[in-house]
A and B are shown apart, each in its own frame.
Chain A
Amino acid sequence: MIVAEQKPLEEIRRMIAPYGRVLILGCGTCMTVCDAGGEREVSFLHNALQLAQARSGDVAHTFSEHTLKRQCDPEFLELLTEKTADVDVILSLGCGIGVQAIAERLPDMPVLPGVNTSFMGMTKESGVWDERCAACGDCRLEDTAGICPITRCTKGILNGPCAGVKNGKCEANKDMDCAWILIYQRLERLQQLDKMRRYYPPRNYRTIPRPRRIMSKVDTVVGEGDG
């Protein structure tokens, strides 16, 4: 899933400054799971903005809140029509995709990002998320025992550990496991160390000309925004 962090309150207040009526829009999928923009966070932010406004004596804004099941599909965004009737701006607590989906769907409505979309990852424990995939478009997990060196090695190198590893930890972060040590250990356990001995040529970055598109159907009509 996509993992994000809510932006600091000051930044959000600065962004909404030019607008009067603000709809705080949550997302019921990834942003809920990573505690950045589900209904609870929407509500908490709503309270915080209202309190900030009350304490500053400036009553420029009125706030409303709503949470969609998912912001990144146009059909869900259609459910917004009523909610946006008397709104000047949408403060989206969706990921960067959600924000852009809203921008595409509502051409006249300004939309602001309330979270910093950080990475694709998984829950380590309650309240802790770890990055696991860089969406590089060229998956090598077969060769690395299911542990991604692109994401989990700070240098993303392909031919084994650098010399910076100490106690199995990364030179960039002493709390972080060296991906290549993990790969080595798991390959050893799987009796596939020959995979580590192989030479891996430089990555083909051409697999990711941005922005990417996946078309799973044949004869797809290339639509607008094809870039």
Chain B
Amino acid sequence: MNMVNKSYPENRLENAPDHSLVPPCQDACPLHMDIREYIGLVSQGRIMEALQVIRTGNPFPSICAYVCTRPCEDACRRSQVDKPIAIRSLKRFAVEFGGDRMVRAEAETTHEEKVAIVGSGPAGLACAYYLKKSGYPATILEAHSDLGGMLRVGIPQYRLPREVLDIEVQRLTRMGVEIRTNTRVVSLDLLFELGYKAIFVTIGAHQSLRMGIEGEESPGVIDGATFLREVNLGLKPSLGRKVAVVGGGNVAIDAARTATRLGVKKVSILYRRTRAEMPADPKEVEQALEEGIDIKYLVTPTEIKSENKRLNVTCVKMKLGEPDESGRQRPVPVKGSEFREEFDTLIAAIGQAPQTPDDFGVRMGRGSTIQVDPSTLTTNRVGVFAGGDAVTGPATVTEALAAGRLAALRIDDYLQHRYPLPVKEAKEKLSGDLLPETIEMIRKIERVEPPSLASEVRAKDFETIELVYGWEQAINEARRCLRCGVGVEILFQDKCATCLTCLRVCPYHVPYLDASGTIRIPADQCQACGICVAECPAKAIVLRKPFDRRQVTEELGHTIKSAVESKTKPLIIGFCCQYGLFGTGTLARLWRSAKAGVSIVPVLCVAKVEAAHILSAFETGAEGVFIAGCGEQCARENTTYWVQQRVAKVRKVLEPIGLEPERLQVFALGTTAEDPAEELDKFVEQISALRLASVIKGEVES
């Protein structure tokens, strides 16, 4: 039976425009990564594809998977329901299970113009990667003996294993990026003289800020950046038994935790504001506390005296006063609250600044940063671009990667004499919070925290703390994603009869009638469950691209085609949910155990299987059809109800056609205690018997 002679209306969707909105996670990501897409792929167990999506937006996903500060998770709308999606951990899962270290980056040199990259921090590495990808001969010049900048000398190993960094560096080398280590650039003119046509200055911000208090020069006082650099380069500075770290940023936390790992018994952090104002990643702060680090809030040192090889530190208590220009409340000393405490070492980690050689001849701005045009990264010198911490002051790895990527683009523009076009968002951003009634209906599902080393184990050495998800954990976590901005839209407004079916069937109360009496389905609220798509009597609603790369009909066609190619006629066709189940193994077992003649049509939630799809499956000649969904474990609402409705509808017409209702079955895989493969076996037997019976009946009749 060919299915071609029916013109499926879905075909009109092929040229349908992509009206999806940019979700908040993507918007918050400095690299603008398509997070929603790769989380979706992870939830379906399509890890290789997920990695592909990740690699498209991020040159060094393995690094980000360890050290990204996760602005995406802060923006995640799931936190309005319960807790945000563990995006970084899922990326880590995808890069490890997807085999990122095996990915080979290849690049040909197609341009002659050489580009020099001064500094090999994340911005420099990213810039080199993209320039090389675009065909430019790129050279990295690094003052240290190894590449990585802050990734190597700043971030402790327990947060970023060095082999991860080494793999990325090797990848760059294989791509043909020229690397010159132990090379400190003192003059840009020289580089131009050497034939470089453009220079990207990305020398970081390694110079620690001074506290500006008496006794700062005492032996035993060390700055955070220097301390971390020494440890990261393999030195083991002697710290004594009692260490104070001054500051509240990530460097302060890193320094304190590193000190703990070096065997210091008592590490205290002195921070002049409260925990709420701490700029450090809250998760890192939490872990530091777990490791026994003491944090004294609203305390700042005012004087250090060196006595008997110890430091006698005078501190003052603070209180929060008027907000400063950053919006945070300015701490003010409390009169007469001074106290003294003795430490062996004091690590000052109150901030860092770039240290740009004057000979570079670039204009400097506030805090010794290099001044650039933020959209082109051009400095006051022609052909000289700058980015990363050297421009922004200490910022995140991801921001630096984004700067490196932008620099590569702009250097390309510059070298090709193109007028740099302002970066403009092609798609509309998703706006607004979820409505309370929508939040109410979204099922609360606990966030799956990635496994990590126990605090008492991890504080002893520099082993990586965060471990990677297991397959099932990752998939369950990915299934929590609300897929913001790829909901449905009324694509065929001319067909909409304003019957209000969508408004009535939506479990999330999303569609509404506007004042003019037109039905609206706001994309920023839709949960993409697809129920209205399958129920709209006018077939006017579709899921926004790229939600369904393949419609159910296409998937069905594809399944039939492969059955025909393998010269088997499908005996049974099963519509199986691809969310989660594949990963948790149930569907995977079903696939494996599928007998000859059982064809499986993967679908993104069985709520999207329409009654007509079921009939189409029978039309292909299948003797039995089953629908295997997640049952009660489905992350969406009312799925089972609608599947039952459609099954009832189909059974009503199967009967007069002479097909027994048992030929259509629903398996709720998530809930059945029995082995689904066994259930499938039973179904196969049943269908075989029915077929045999009808063959005999046919012969008797003839």
Binding site for B on A (CB under 8 A): 8-10, 13, 28-29, 32-33, 35, 38-41, 43-44, 46-48, 50-52, 54-56, 62-63, 65, 67, 69, 123, 125-126
Residue B559 is within 8 A (CB to CB) of chain A in the complex: no
Nearest B residue to A30 by beta-carbon distance? Answer: B497
Closest Cβ–Cβ distance, residue B269 to chain A (whole Å): 59
Contacts of A10 in B (CB 8 A): 656
Nearest B residue to A10 by beta-carbon distance? Answer: B656
**Number of chain B interface residues as a range:** 20 to 34
Q: In the complex the two chains form, is A47's CB within 8 Å of B612's CB?
A: yes
Stretch at the interface among B1-9, B153-161, B304-312, B672-680: B1-9
Given A50-B6, A52-B657, A55-B657, A32 contacting B619 (CB threshold 8 A): no
Closest Cβ–Cβ distance, residue B267 to chain A (whole Å): 62
Q: Complex: how many Å from CA A132 to CA B23?
A: 45
- Choice from B500, B501, B538 contacting A28 with Cβ under 8 Å: B538
Within 8 A of A (CB), among B347-390: none
- Choice from B505, B615, B649 contacting A51 with Cβ under 8 Å: B615
Q: Complex: how many Å from CA A47 to CA B6?
A: 8
Q: In the complex the two chains form, is A40's CB within 8 Å of B504's CB?
A: no
The 4 A-B residue pairs with the shortest CB-CB distance, nearest first, are A38-B537, A47-B615, A126-B504, A33-B499
Given A32-B497, A55-B658, A38 contacting B653 (CB threshold 8 A): no
Q: In the complex the two chains form, is B497's CB within 8 Å of A38's CB?
A: yes
A–B Cβ pairs within 8 angstroms, 27 of them? A9-B653, A28-B495, A33-B497, A33-B499, A35-B501, A35-B537, A38-B539, A39-B9, A39-B495, A39-B538, A39-B539, A40-B612, A43-B9, A43-B612, A44-B611, A44-B649, A47-B6, A52-B657, A54-B1, A54-B619, A65-B6, A69-B494, A123-B499, A123-B500, A125-B504, A126-B501, A126-B505
Closest Cβ–Cβ distance, residue A101 to chain B (whole Å): 18
- Choice from A33, A46, A69 contacting B537 with Cβ under 8 Å: A33
How many inter-chain residue pairs (CB < 8 Å) link A and B?
Answer: 85
Q: In the complex the two chains form, is B621's CB within 8 Å of A54's CB?
A: yes
Q: In the complex the two chains form, is B612's CB within 8 Å of A39's CB?
A: no
Contacts of B659 in A (CB 8 A): 55
Q: In the complex the two chains form, is B658's CB within 8 Å of A43's CB?
A: no
Nearest B residue to A46 by beta-carbon distance? Answer: B6
Residue B130 is within 8 A (CB to CB) of chain A in the complex: no
Residue B683 is within 8 A (CB to CB) of chain A in the complex: no
Residue B536 is within 8 A (CB to CB) of chain A in the complex: yes
Within 8 A of A (CB), among B377-428: none
Residue B618 is within 8 A (CB to CB) of chain A in the complex: yes
Q: In the complex the two chains form, is B657's CB within 8 Å of A48's CB?
A: yes
Nearest A residue to B613 by beta-carbon distance? Answer: A47
Closest Cβ–Cβ distance, residue A72 to chain B (whole Å): 14
Q: In the complex the two chains form, is B615's CB within 8 Å of A44's CB?
A: yes
Q: Complex: how many Å from CA A38 to CA B649?
A: 16
Q: Complex: how many Å from CA A32 to CA B539?
A: 10
Q: Complex: how many Å from CA A32 to CA B537?
A: 6
Closest Cβ–Cβ distance, residue B419 to chain A (whole Å): 49
Closest Cβ–Cβ distance, residue B460 to chain A (whole Å): 61
Q: In the complex the two chains form, is B539's CB within 8 Å of A43's CB?
A: yes
Q: Complex: how many Å from CA A47 to CA B610?
A: 12
Chain B 1-21, CB-CB to A under 8 Å as 1, else 0, gives: 100011101000000000000
Contacts of A63 in B (CB 8 A): 6
Known contacts A33-B497, A69-B494, A126-B504, then 20 further A-B pairs from the complex at CB < 8 Å, ordered by chain A residue: A8-B656, A13-B656, A32-B537, A33-B537, A35-B537, A38-B497, A38-B538, A40-B535, A43-B9, A43-B539, A47-B6, A47-B612, A47-B615, A54-B621, A55-B658, A56-B657, A62-B5, A63-B6, A123-B500, A123-B504
Contacts of B688 in A (CB 8 A): none
Residue B616 is within 8 A (CB to CB) of chain A in the complex: yes
Contacts of B612 in A (CB 8 A): 40, 43-44, 47
Closest Cβ–Cβ distance, residue A62 to chain B (whole Å): 7
Q: Complex: how many Å from CA A38 to CA B658?
A: 26
Contacts of B610 in A (CB 8 A): 40
- Choice from B9, B499, B611, B657 contacting A32 with Cβ under 8 Å: B499
Closest Cβ–Cβ distance, residue A41 to chain B (whole Å): 7
